[in-house]
Copies of this chain bind each other. A is one copy, B any other.
């Protein structure tokens, strides 16, 4: 069965049929398709297009179809071009000719994108929860690892001492932004296309506002031509996914680095690592590498859909069928990655002494310059003096805290015996107490802020 044979005198070429058919991937919309059809039948009944009796038959039939999807007994047929055809075909087998009334005033153009938006509305809370789970793991680590010092890096060169809790939380905020974007997206997904027909609207007196409410949408789409072709929500979803992927890739890169023997800051648990088929000693951070790699793939899915959308001439074009596989792939990648990464963070071991050992006095050169500033020297000269101290130390094979006072004073009389107080990383950290800084009290406040966000958002969905 197909839904459109009337005017055609020749059957479709089998290879063309196969290329054209979308059932292999849009069957994932089965539940949403039935849900949308139930609401459409209700709307048709209210508009007196279906009698109560016809509605009841269709409704009962669709419920049967739905339960067949749910218990896995639904049997697809080779002739099912897409999920809409499959559902209507099966409905017809169950109810007889009345099934042919369901598609009145509706088109697959408005139907498929309604299904797709319903699917996304169903999927977004799960993604939010998965992100929430990652954030929770980060917040947990920030709590557990309180007070641990580590070297902070810029350009991957040792820069200044920081708190490990501060570092963990630096990965919390990007995911908070991801969740905000998800929330913004949700509003734009929640626009109902159903009732727009193929392109021009439906000629039956359907109440689209009621229909939107029935299906849980915020509002009906305001323009039928736009409604059947708008895939902004799909592109925006892929952007959300790609940027989330980028955030995970940055965390992943750091974890991969920090679990090398050279850094030695972290060790992953056996449960989240793999070995080598050749090298018996290997313990590899595969799950983080996959997170990093999948960020690239996610970026490509976005670039691909945008390229597909570019330059389309009108309302519905078949090109739009390319939207679904990309979104499903992106969704599944994030849902596979996030819980695993959260679990890996939860179970990793931190080596505080390795981190502490990474903090050498050279990392306090800025504090040395600030010390000189404290003695009235403009920062720019203070910076130069501290730079010369670094150079001098390098020349003598020393570090900043082992240069003698005379050596310091050979650079400038501004240095006094209290210069050695500078080289305590705890104090360096404590000085950075402005909002967002790495001082313990600033980090504690930040942690509170993060926890408040977690509790507040979590109840929305759980």
Q: Tell whether A61 is near chain B: CB-to-CB under 8 Å.
A: no
Residues of B within 8 A of A310 (CB): 245-246, 249-250, 292, 295-296, 299, 307-308, 310-311
Interface string of A269-294 (1 = CB under 8 A from B): 11111111111111111110110111
| Contact A318–B286 (Cβ < 8 Å) | yes
Cross-chain contact B299 with A161 (CB below 8 angstroms): no
Given that A4-B277, A287-B16 are contacting pairs, would A243 and B250 also be in contact in the complex, using a CB cutoff of 8 Å?
Answer: no
Contacts of A249 in B (CB 8 A): 310-311
Tell me the minimal C-beta distance from A415 to chain B in angstroms.
14
Main secondary structure of the interface of A (DSSP, over half): helix
CB-defined contacts of A292 to chain B, threshold 8 Å: 310-311, 317, 319
Q: Is the CB of A336 closer than 8 A to any CB of chain B? A: yes
Q: Mark A122-146, 1 if CB is under 8 A from B, else 0.
A: 0000000000000000000000000
Q: In whole Å, how far is A211's beta carbon from the nearest beta carbon of chain B?
A: 9
Enumerate A221-248 residues with CB–CB distance to B below 8 Å.
221-228, 230, 232, 235-236, 239, 242-243, 245-246
- Residue of A161, A166, A366 with most chain B CB atoms under a 10 A cut-off: A366
Residue from the list B20, B92, B157, B370 in contact with A287, Cβ < 8 A: B20
Copies in the complex: 4
Contact B304 A301 (CB under 8 A): yes
A322 cross-chain contacts in B, Cβ below 8 A: 290, 293-294, 296-297
Bits for A151-185, please: 1 = Cβ < 8 Å to B, else 0: 01111111111100011011111100100110010
Return the chain B residue nearest A275 by Cβ.
B4
Chain B: minimal CB distance from A1 (Å): 10
Task: Name the residue on B nearest A385 (C-beta).
Answer: B6
Q: Is A263 an interface residue (CB 8 A)?
A: yes
Q: B275 and A6: CB pair below 8 A?
A: yes
Q: Is A31 an interface residue (CB 8 A)?
A: no
Interface residue? A352 (CB, 8 A): no
CB <8 Å contact, A306 and B311: no
